[in-house]
Amino acid sequence: MPELPEVETTVRGLASILAGETISRVSVRRADLRRPFPPDLAQALTGARVSGLSRRAKYGLIHTDRARTMVFHLGMSGRWRIDPDEIGKHDHLVLETGNGHVLALNDARRFGSVDLVDDDALDAWAPFAALGPEPLGPGLTAQHLARAFVGRIAAIKLMLLDQRIVAGLGNIYVCEALHRARIHPEREAGTVSLPALKRLVPEIRAVLEESIAAGGSTLRDYARPDGELGYFAKDFLVYGREGDPCACGRPVARVVQGGRSTFFCSVCQK
Ligand SMILES: [Zn+2]
């Protein structure tokens, strides 16, 4: 499933082609993904100039000179393909640029989404309105977490996955950051000290930034030979490593919290 670093890498890869370019042709090749494509999507984008791209949580934003933004979510299996050899049956939206590139949004399971949002309505758009600060932005601080956690008995792991507290932080990155900050994932959030939260915030940023860096910094790195953007393998210290030795020697443990696996070390994390 595309996580925040993959979305960020995808946005950077798309920006290297789309930023400043005109969209010359738009093909909407089926009616819907998770929800219907906007009925006026092709009309709204054809001839528009892309003024920039950005990311909010796990959404990618393609801004245009028409004061409207195309917002995409990759769902479970979504990916953009750049200049594919041929358009396949899972390429549901195809954009062509004025300088001859073809960008295909491919989504076999169709849990993704595409929306058009007026620029002045973006902050209030329902999926964005309740989001907490970006983990890589200035709003995420130890003090922000401390305020959000006051009196909360829920496990810190679950609180960090709450998009209202931090936007777009996925299971992998929460496991890794808690391990690196030596905080037990089952600790009641309200009992985690401010010094521990001050260790945690830079580790959240570091694990995300390392994963983004693993996605490459040039278009040639972003796009695999088949043109697929944004997917890469990174080794993690605890995620997916149940039974493997932690750096301390103790096997990495796994518990299920909120229906999802948590990987941690019971010696290193308190
Ligand atoms: Zn350990």
**Rounded Cα–Cα distance for residues 231 and 222 (Å):** 8
Question: Could you tell me the distance, in angstroms and rounded to a whole number, from the CA of residue 268 to the centre of ligand 1?
Answer: 4
What is the pLDDT, as a whole number, of residue 1? 78
**pTM of the shown model:** 0.90
Question: Could you tell me the distance, in angstroms and rounded to a whole number, from the CA of residue 195 to the centre of ligand 1?
Answer: 20
For the question of residue 58 being annotated catalytic, the response is yes
**Out of 55, 56, 58, 187, which one is annotated catalytic?**
58
Regions of the chain short of the pLDDT cut 50: 218-221, 225
**Out of 3, 6, 203, 228, which one is annotated catalytic?**
3
Contact 142, 194 (CB under 8 A): yes
Q: What is the pLDDT of residues 140-159, one digit of tens each?
A: 999 999 999 999 999 999 99
For the question of residue 89 being annotated catalytic, the response is no
What is the pLDDT, as a whole number, of residue 222? 52
The continuous run of DSSP H or E covering 63 comes out as: strand 59-64
On whether 73 is known to bind a ligand per the annotation, the reply is no
Question: Could you tell me the distance, in angstroms and rounded to a whole number, from the CA of residue 212 to the centre of ligand 1?
Answer: 25
What is the pLDDT, as a whole number, of residue 103? 95
**Rounded Cα–Cα distance for residues 157 and 160 (Å):** 5
What is the pLDDT, as a whole number, of residue 228? 59
Residues 6+ apart with CB under 8 A from 43: none
For the question of residue 3 being annotated catalytic, the response is yes
On whether 179 is known to bind a ligand per the annotation, the reply is no
**Out of 2, 5, 135, 185, which one is annotated catalytic?**
2
On whether 49 is known to bind a ligand per the annotation, the reply is no
Residues 6+ apart with CB under 8 A from 124: none
